[in-house]
């Protein structure tokens, strides 16, 4: 109830040391449709749920190519996401132009985070209302980062953001330890299965999700509907068996998955 007193300006602290406008921006991320990212040692897969406003309209684009070696999936205010993608593309091109080499992912997310931070310290601006899952490949390997509206960023083995992402996160928490050595095909399958978790009951169809992949010797590109449908067909055919398997796994797996995915819960603004 007291929140309302200190939440008019992004430049006003609350007595308990919080910036409510920034926290409200994080809420906007939670309202967007789900986006999922996971990585192995050699590949990064980004997947998202396609939600269209109505049957008449097309769905919003939530995954963008930044460069051959970097892609980004967004959740929240997609307009903000589009603008930030354009910024990322521009940074990548400028780096390539100056250094004749691809922009390391870690540098890009720092630029993004600094840009987001500026909006948390200007009275005439508002924070970006979008969370970004940045996946990329550089000399130090495959990386997946999550950039918040707060200006924080974290590296993950696997993560999910947006509405009903907790279901996907639970699925990923059970499996993330094996992702590092996963094959390309297994990684895609896990991504689609994670998307299925967020749909909670709705039948998974290739038209409902978008999947993109990048990796060693594989520039960023989207998977076409047929390829996605093929993967779905491998597990949707025997849904009973798959559920039985998952339950057995959950029982056997250690609950100590506080590693990568756990760090997300300790994000400062998430209460």
Task: Give the residues lining the site for other proteins (CB under 8 A).
Answer: 65, 86, 89-90, 93-94, 96-97
CB 32 within 8 A of CB 16: no
CA distance 56 to 10: 38
The distance of closest approach from Cβ of residue 262 to other proteins in the complex, given in angstroms and rounded to an integer, is 35
**Strand residues in 153-239 grouped as ranges (E):** 153-155, 158-161, 209-215, 218-222
Task: Identify which of residues 51 and 89 has a Cβ nearer to other proteins in the complex.
Answer: 89
**Between 23 and 91, CB nearer to other proteins:** 91
Nearest distance from residue 58's CB to other proteins, in Å?
A: 14
Burial class (CB in 10 A: 0-12, 13-18, 19+), 2: exposed
Cα–Cα distance list, 153 to 40, 116, 215, 258 (Å):
19, 10, 22, 17
The minimum distance between CB 87 and other proteins, in angstroms, equals 12
Pick 8 or 90: Cβ nearer other proteins: 90
Nearer to other proteins, 66 or 209 (CB): 66
Given the DSSP bridges, would you call strands 209-215 and 158-161 parallel, antiparallel or unpaired? unpaired
CA dihedral for 210, 202, 75, 269, sign (positive or negative):
negative
Rank residues 65 and 174 by Cβ distance to other proteins and give the closer one: 65
């Amino acid at each position: 109830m007291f929140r309302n007193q200190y939440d008019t300006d992004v430049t006003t602290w609350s007595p308990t040391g919080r910036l409510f406008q920034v926290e409200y921006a994080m809420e906007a991320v939670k309202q967007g449709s789900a986006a999922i990212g996971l990585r192995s040692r050699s590949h990064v897969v980004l997947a998202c749920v396609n939600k269209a406003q109505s049957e008449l309209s097309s769905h919003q684009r939530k995954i963008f190519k930044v460069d051959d070696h970097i892609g980004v999936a967004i959740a929240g205010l997609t307009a903000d996401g589009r603008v930030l993608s354009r910024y990322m593309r521009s940074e990548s091109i400028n780096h390539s132009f100056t250094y004749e080499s691809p922009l390391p992912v870690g540098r890009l997310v720092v630029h993004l985070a600094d840009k987001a931070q500026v909006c948390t310290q200007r009275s005439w601006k508002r924070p970006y209302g979008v969370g970004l899952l940045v996946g990329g490949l550089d000399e130090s390997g495959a990386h997946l980062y999550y950039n918040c509206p707060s200006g924080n960023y974290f590296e993950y083995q696997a993560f999910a953001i947006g509405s009903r992402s907790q279901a996907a996160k639970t699925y990923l928490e059970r499996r993330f330890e094996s992702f590092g050595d996963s094959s390309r095909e297994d990684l895609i399958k896990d991504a689609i299965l994670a998307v299925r978790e967020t749909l909670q009951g709705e039948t998974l169809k290739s038209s409902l999700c978008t999947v993109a992949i990048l990796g060693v010797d594989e520039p960023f590109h989207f998977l076409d509907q047929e390829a996605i449908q093929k993967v779905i067909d491998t597990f949707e055919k025997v849904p009973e068996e798959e559920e039985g398997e998952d339950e057995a796994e959950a029982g056997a797996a250690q609950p100590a998955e506080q590693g990568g995915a756990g760090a997300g819960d300790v994000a400062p603004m998430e209460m």
